Copies of this chain bind each other. A is one copy, B any other.
Amino acid sequence: MKRTKKKAFREFIAQKGLKSTRQRDIILDAFLSSDRHMSIEELYLKLRAKHPNIGYATVYRTLKLFAESGIAREIQFGDGQTRYEHVAEGEHHDHLVCTHCGTIIEFENETIEKLQDEVAQSHDFIIETHKLELYGICGKCRK
């Protein structure tokens, strides 16, 4: 998985005529070995511990590249920070977000996806992407 993504990114870099740099390798490793749903700031701070000389702008630009290459996806949970999450080849999931403790649960539901397509079709739309987020209180927070 990690291997696959590294390879995928290397190929993206090559195919685009971009350069393979020390920073991009470091940031990719940090990203792949981190929580899903990291903000730029979070990843930047995590990196700073071992690599104090990496700039925020580089992390920012590199995460954009990850998204462009298809190994990451940009998400917004409405807290004002852009987050990036790992994308697995051919997979998709949506999110359940606890508004109390911030816990994020991922889920897939084929039936919902199908119904979405039907809705789109009935309005003569062809869906490219979608966003489904359920905000609420998790079990722990209700106790």
Contacts and interface: CB of A to CB of B under 8 A. Distances in A.
A136 B132 contact: no
A14 interface: no
Interface residues on A, range: 20 to 34
Interface string A107-139: 101011001100110011111111111111111
Contacts of A119: 96, 107, 109, 112, 134
Nearest to A107: B119
A78 interface: yes
A50 interface: no
Contact of A126 (B123, B127, B137): B137
A20 interface: no
A87 interface: no
Contacts of A4: none
Contacts of A137: 125-126, 128
Contact of A120 (B76, B96, B116, B128): B96
A129 B99 CA distance: 10
A19 interface: no
Given A109-B115, A115-B112, A127 B134 contact: yes
A105 interface: yes
